[in-house]
Structures are given as C-alpha cells and as structure tokens.
Amino acid sequence: MKIAIVAGGPKEELPLLDSYQSNIDFWIGADDGALALLEQNIPIDLAIGDFDSVSNSDLERIKRLSNHCKVYPIEKDETDLELALDEALNLDPEMLYLFGVTAGRLDHELVNIQQLYRLLMKQVEAFIIDKHHEISMYKPGSYEVEQSDCFPYISFIPFSPIVKELTLKGFYYPLNRSDITWGSTLCMSNQILQDPSTFSFTDGILLMIKSKDKQ
C-alpha cells in the first residue's frame, strides 16, 4: 500500500496533489492538512490530530467529508504528524509520501526530516515533498536516480557523522569512494548527466535532496 500524509505546513509550498493521486492508495490529513486535501479536492481516508489550526466550522466539514476522523486533545506528547505516521504504519505501507511537513517552523521541519530515519529503520520507502524539494534517506547500498525536470539539482548530505566511500556515477560532478562528514559541502548542487545515474556507499546514513530554485 502507498500512503500519503498531508500535514499543516504552509499551503503555498504544497505541490498539486492530484499529480500524485494515481500513485496513492490512502490519503491521511493531519490537522490543517485535512483542510488542504479538501481544498485540492482529494478524498480523505483518515483525518487525524487536535485540529487546533482550523475553525470549528472547518472541523465539522472535515468530519463530514472524511471517511474517518480521529480528534485528539491539544495537550499531548505526540505531534499531529507523529499520530498520522503511527496510523499509516499500522497499515503496513510499502511507501509513504509526506507533504506539508517542511517550509514552516524550523523546529518542526527538522524533527519531520528525522521521521525519515524512523521509516527507514522500519523498511518503509519514504519521501518528503514540497514545491521545491524532494527528500529521501538511505542505508548503505547502491541506488539508481532518475532525472527529474521538476527537481534538476541533487545534493547528498550525511545524516550520520560520516558516510563512507560515497560514489556518484553519471553526475556532472562524479565522485569515487569518498568519505563525507557533517558540515561537508562536497556533494551539494549536483546534476544528472546520464539517466539513470547511480550512487553507492558502504557505511552511514545519507540524505538525498532533489531541489529547484525558488522563482
């Protein structure tokens, strides 16, 4: 099952969700993200959160138009996104798309990116997507990367203190078995020359960020 979660990040940074609709089996709206789904005419399979970011009338609309709605108290240990992730993981997904989790408050954005590590450890392929970025996380191995007109630039950033023997093939700036550490800018703003390109590494945890410039 492929699941998408839409959280309450800035709506102006959400992509057009219907372009992903054919690839999604189950849509979850977390707090204000449920309203964003309604505004883009995407059916809601589950709405969840404390809904402190929506009006009472909008909450009633969300309840009426969602297949299921779970309302939690405002004072709780989990964020609305974490509640949504727990529900998604109970459905044993093979892939998760996370929208509306970046471009807002920096503290939320950083911890939301860390959720990719949680999903990686559970063997769930996951992507964070907004209008200008696609973020994914990897264990050691070898991977193909396809060229994207939406996100022409690719950066590789170590999530662990060190990523060992990173090799990039088919990129404008190739790399051969180089170690990169926290703070390194060696692998920023690369581009694909050969489709598909490949990257591989032998140890550590690696973030790949595809991006485009803001107009």
Q: What is the pLDDT of residues 193-213, one digit of tens each?
A: 988 899 999 999 999 999 998
Class of 137-211 per CATH?
A: alpha beta
pLDDT of residue 104: 80
CA-to-CA distance for 13 and 78, rounded, in angstroms?
Answer: 24
**Regions of the chain with pLDDT less than 50:** none
For residue 122, give the DSSP letter. Answer: T
Q: Give the dihedral of Cα atoms 147, 151, 152, 155; nearest 10 deg.
A: -100
The ranges assigned to domains in the chain are 2-131, 137-211
pLDDT of residue 200: 98
pLDDT of residue 195: 85
Q: Give the dihedral of Cα atoms 104, 105, 107, 111; nearest 10 deg.
A: -20
pLDDT of residue 60: 94
pLDDT of residue 148: 84
pLDDT of residue 82: 93
Pick the CATH number of 2-131 from 3.40.50.10240, 3.40.50.1820, 3.40.50.720, 3.65.10.10: 3.40.50.10240
pLDDT of residue 77: 78
CA-to-CA distance for 28 and 90, rounded, in angstroms?
Answer: 13
CA-to-CA distance for 159 and 12, rounded, in angstroms?
Answer: 28
Q: What is the pTM of this model?
A: 0.93
pLDDT of residue 103: 84
CA-to-CA distance for 120 and 117, rounded, in angstroms?
Answer: 5
* 137-211 shares the fold of 2-131: yes
pLDDT digits (tens, 9 = 90+) for 122-145: 999 999 999 999 999 999 999 999
pLDDT of residue 175: 97
pLDDT of residue 95: 96
CA-to-CA distance for 54 and 66, rounded, in angstroms?
Answer: 15
